[in-house]
Amino acid sequence: MSTQADSPRVALVTGGSGGIGRSVVERLAADGFAVAVHYAGNRARAEEVAERVTASGGQAVVVGGDVADETEMAAAFDATEAAFGGVDVVVNTAGIMILGPVESFDLEALDRMHRTNVRGSFVVAQLAARRVRRGGAIIGFSTSQTRLQHPGYAPYAASKAAVEALTLVLARELRGKDVTVNAVAPGPTATPLFLDGKDEQTVETLARLAPLERLGTPDDVAETVAFLAGPARWVNGQVLYVNGGIA
């Protein structure tokens, strides 16, 4: 078996077949990482992402599981370690967004979203805390809506505020392990998750919020993830707002 010294660094990216997740996978692979592309429901799409990586000369495997299920995610970590010998970076992009006002929000929808965004983030962070190798990084995903406070986003923003709290505390709990823990908080980003259900005028209005006067792209976010996964060893216990200057 190869050793860590003569093997590429290894990243497990949850939601790796989605909009931002796909860009993160491709960017980390371009930086030389061997990547485990995680999916929850669409294996074919994850396999497509992995094939793009391998076609470009990189290394990738596909792993599945419900992020909120600790047994399934432990198996995903096991599969990553079996393929590549260990895990150095975990990027948890997996999440769902359901919008609506607090007054009339469906509590079953709230439970479903919080199961993925809160429990799922905790399960992935817990496993990562146990299994990421020294010199590694754990990167969660929040949202700029925790600052923007737009009406309709309260249930979603609340779930992501929990990710921020988890990030800040876990970074300090891992003292002495040489593992950084940070979160990325994108602003309006042109992904299927963000664009779903929004009319053209709403999208244009949101695009104008940033001084740069455009929506973010998945590649913009992946650039920040790559920074935290690689050279940013002195950035720890932080939430990085990646939103073009909105807030």
pLDDT per position as a tens digit, 133-174: 999 999 999 999 999 989 999 999 999 999 999 999 999 999
Sketch the domain layout of the chain as residue ranges.
Answer: 4-242
- For the cut 60, the answer to whether the pLDDT of residue 242 exceeds it is yes
| pLDDT tens for each residue of 123-133 | 999 999 999 99
DSSP secondary structure code for residue 183 in this structure: E
Write phi, then psi, for 139 (nearest 5 degrees).
Answer: -130, 115
156 is catalytic: yes
- pLDDT at residue 2, rounded to an integer: 41
Q: Which amino acid is residue 128, in one-letter code?
A: A
Quick check: 40 and 15 in contact, CB under 8 A?
A: yes
Residues in Cβ contact with 171 at an 8 Å cutoff, skipping those fewer than 6 apart = 180, 181, 182, 236, 237, 238
Cα–Cα distances (Å) from 219 to 174, 186, 222, in that order, read: 29, 11, 5
Q: Any alpha helices (H) in 31-138, and if so which ranges?
A: 43-55, 70-84, 107-114, 120-131
Q: What is the pLDDT of residues 75-103, one digit of tens each?
A: 999 999 999 999 999 999 999 999 999 99
What is the residue-averaged pLDDT of the chain?
A: 94
- Give, in words, the CATH class of 4-242: alpha beta
Residue 211 Cα to chain centre, angstroms: 25
Query: CA-CA distance, 208 to 201, in Å (whole number)?
Result: 11
Mind listing the pLDDT tens digit for each residue in 199-209?
A: 888 888 888 88
> Is the confidence at residue 3, as pLDDT, over 50?
no
Identified catalytic residue from 39, 153, 156, 241: 156
The Cα-based distances of 37 to 32, 34, 62, 135 in angstroms read: 15, 10, 5, 21
At residue 1 the predicted structure's pLDDT band, cuts being 50, 70 and 90, is very low
